[in-house]
Amino acid sequence: MSINIERIVKLAETVEVGQDEVEGYTAYAIAGVINETLAALGEDFKVNPQQLYNDSVNGRINGVKAVKGTKVRYTEDEVELYVAKFVAKHMGTGTRVSIETEMPPAEVDLEDIDEDAELDETVDDEN
């Protein structure tokens, strides 16, 4: 069995060059985007690509945890949102969202407190 050179030449004339390229951004590429963005803002700070691999594995880029060793790629929208949040956090800009707790703080009317009452100093050891 031998390789058919004529067939390869014919395939080379009709094959689409980019058909085997995988689309999306790797964690390494995202580190480059962050560094480029920070440089454009005049910041003298560079992120280490390893941090982005850790963020990728832990689901901090798109909210989905990745299995170590798998090749994960992110869409442009995911990259832009993550980089914007990363830069805002680094620069101290952006809007902080405050989340209300389910239980509002207790309201105590100080007039209802009996100042002469003795305090019970016993401790419940069962907890």
Q: Where are the domains of the chain?
A: 22-91
pTM strictly above 0.95: no
pLDDT tens column, 85-98? 888 888 887 665 54
The secondary structure of the chain as a DSSP string is ----HHHHHHHHHHS-GGGGPPPSB-HHHHHHHHHHHHHHTT------HHHHHHHHHTTTTTS----TT----B-HHHHHHHHHHHHHHHHT-S-PPP---SSPPPP--GGG--TTSPP-----TT-
pLDDT tens column, 108-126? 565 666 666 665 555 555 5
Single out the residue of 57, 62, 58 nearest to residue 85, CA to CA. Answer: 62
